[in-house]
Amino acid sequence: MNEFQKIRDNLNIIDVAMDLGLKLDRNNMCCCPFHLEDSASMKLYDKNRGGDNKFYCFGCGEKGDVIDLTAKMYNIPVREAAKKLNDDYKLGIVFSGRDSPAYQKREYTKQPIQNQGFSKNHNTTKKSFERWELVRQHEYLDRKRKKLAVKYIYRKPDGSKVASWKRYEGNILVKGLNGSKMPLYHVSNLTDKNKPIFVVEGEKDVETVEKLGFVATTSPNGAGSRWLDEYSKELQGADVIILSDNDEVGMNHGKDCAEKVAPYAKSVKFVPSQALYKELQPKGDISDIFYLVGFEKTKKLLEYAIQSDKFIYKSDNPKETKKEQLWLNSAAIVAKKYLDILKNWESEYYNAPDNTKRSLLYQEAVNCKDTVSKFVDTLTSGSQAEKHNLYVSFKDEFQKMAIRLQFIRQQKLDMKLSMPEETVAISKIANKVDEILTSTKNNKLKGMRR
């Protein structure tokens, strides 16, 4: 065991932080000394209560152990910080190597703890911008981890927050997105659909959930923007858990997201943050829960969200779901009828006298049969996402099949081949395609079943 580890093992970061002048609340939260803020964003993890004896600031991202905290507070190298802790707390740990004269004569001056909030006497003029504090920044990458842009979060003097973007042009950051659309945050982490994916409201919450060992993402502007269909496609085939903030805006955004993700995802759960922690204050989120209850308990709460069936999402718009299901059922009826006809045609062409035209027609029938067969398989046993994709492109699929089937039928007539009775249904089926697409009543399907 080296000297650094002995220091860490012998000291509790809570004691060191208080000796450094940091004021902790009962949840071991404090205002970060490394950036200006008016609310506690630094968490210290008490090793006497199962914590890892480290600190982490959710505002500026500073983190570390007792040695790092001391080094940052005194603006000294970590080795000197370790020796100072050894001396101050009389630990009696012997360090290997020699100390330089500069260290032996060093007089330490603690860095002043930053003013909490903004000075009321801060001078501004009507023509100048008010002072904005940079709270944090988040880099957006594409699926191949190519740098796209950086999002900056600022806190204004009145306490409200505002975002600003800079895009990459080569290796240079240029102000604004210039019309570029950003993907989901940390989209490159969403490739493994065997792991549940949390959709949260904001980049800070993504990083909180990731810190707990889970996969998470958010839309580029959180609840402040609508959920796009392209975001849903990134979650196709995954178990998605939507974790909303504890306010009306967050709840509405979460439900909108769930509604749009449901057709693509393997499963969807909608979890209001307050359902995990009843004492959560209004506008609270998963990061706030993390501040309040700590690492282990928050992790267990998220595991509960993954395992529990009580959060399975049920659409608030059952009519639309019923309409989509009706269309899919209609598609299955028509496609199965097409498939029966094609099987008969395949057999007939196979046994017909051999010539080039009939050989090509036979191949066309086989190809068409394979296409329709896959269509039927998807409609009868495909995933929810696959069915929805067919639903979205429903009319195009039918038009393609109708054109190919009508071509084959016409060739049969030209060649004076026998016409099985069921082929007469083709023209009727093709004419009813548009009816099916706009139908919402079961009685319109009766003619298809005859």
Domain of 240, in residue numbers: 188-307
Q: Which of 58, 83, 104 is the last residue of a domain?
A: 104
Reading the block at residue 413, the tokens are 């007539």
CA angle 259, 276, 251 (to 5 degrees): 35
pLDDT score of 108: 53
Q: Residue 426: which pLDDT band, with cuts at 50, 70 and 90?
A: very low
pLDDT score of 430: 46
pTM over 0.85: no
What distance separates the 2 farthest-apart alpha carbons in the chain?
108
Q: Residue 344: which pLDDT band, with cuts at 50, 70 and 90?
A: low
Let me know if residue 421 belongs to a domain: yes
pLDDT score of 428: 47
Q: pLDDT higher for 288 or 435?
A: 288
Residue 321 has pLDDT above 60, yes or no: no
pLDDT score of 198: 97
Structural domain count, the chain: 4
Let me know if residue 21 belongs to a domain: yes
Judgement on whether residues 344 and 440 belong to the same structural domain of the protein: yes
pLDDT score of 157: 77
Q: What percent of the chain lies above the pLDDT cut of 70?
A: 61
Judgement on whether residues 268 and 349 belong to the same structural domain of the protein: no
Residue 13 has pLDDT above 60, yes or no: yes
Average pLDDT, the chain: 75
Mode of pairing for the β-strands spanning 172-175 and 161-169? antiparallel
Reported as half-sphere exposure (CB side, CA atoms, 13 A), residue 275 has a value of 15
Let me know if residue 124 belongs to a domain: no
Judgement on whether residues 204 and 294 belong to the same structural domain of the protein: yes
pLDDT score of 329: 66
pLDDT score of 348: 59
Reading the block at residue 362, the tokens are 């036979």
Judgement on whether residues 399 and 443 belong to the same structural domain of the protein: yes
Let me know if residue 121 belongs to a domain: no
Mean pLDDT, to the nearest integer, of 345-349?
60
Rounded Cα distance between 405 and 325, Å, is 25
Q: Residue 384: which pLDDT band, with cuts at 50, 70 and 90?
A: low
Let me know if residue 294 belongs to a domain: yes
pLDDT score of 190: 95
Q: Look up the CATH number of the domain holding residue 343.
A: 1.20.120
Q: Look up the CATH number of the domain holding residue 32.
A: 3.90.580.10
Judgement on whether residues 149 and 243 belong to the same structural domain of the protein: no
DSSP labels, 290-322: HHHH-HHHHHHHHHHHHH-STTB---S-HHHHH
Q: pLDDT higher for 217 or 407?
A: 217
Q: Which of 65, 87, 104 is the last residue of a domain?
A: 104
Judgement on whether residues 152 and 193 belong to the same structural domain of the protein: no
Q: pLDDT higher for 269 or 32?
A: 269
Residue 294 has pLDDT above 60, yes or no: yes
Mean pLDDT, to the nearest integer, of 316-321?
54
Let me know if residue 85 belongs to a domain: yes
pLDDT in tens, 104-130: 445 555 554 543 333 333 333 333 334
pLDDT in tens, 230-260: 899 899 889 999 999 999 888 989 988 998 8
Q: pLDDT higher for 160 or 115?
A: 160
pLDDT score of 121: 36
Judgement on whether residues 195 and 170 belong to the same structural domain of the protein: no
Let me know if residue 125 belongs to a domain: no
pLDDT score of 76: 85
Judgement on whether residues 331 and 371 belong to the same structural domain of the protein: yes
Residue 331 has pLDDT above 90, yes or no: no
Residue 185 has pLDDT above 70, yes or no: yes
Mean pLDDT, to the nearest integer, of 371-384?
68
Q: What percent of the chain lies above the pLDDT cut of 90?
A: 28
The answer to which of 31-40, 42-51, 156-165 has the lowest mean pLDDT is 31-40
Let me know if residue 114 belongs to a domain: no
pLDDT in tens, 267-293: 899 999 999 999 999 989 999 999 999
Helix ranges restricted to H, 22-180: 66-74, 78-88, 101-104
Judgement on whether residues 164 and 284 belong to the same structural domain of the protein: no
pLDDT score of 355: 59
Q: Which of 307, 326, 346 is the last residue of a domain?
A: 307
DSSP labels, 128-168: SPPP-EEEEEEEEE-TT--EEEEEEEEE-TTS-EEEEEEEE
Q: pLDDT higher for 200 or 392?
A: 200
Q: Look up the CATH number of the domain holding residue 282.
A: 3.40.1360.10
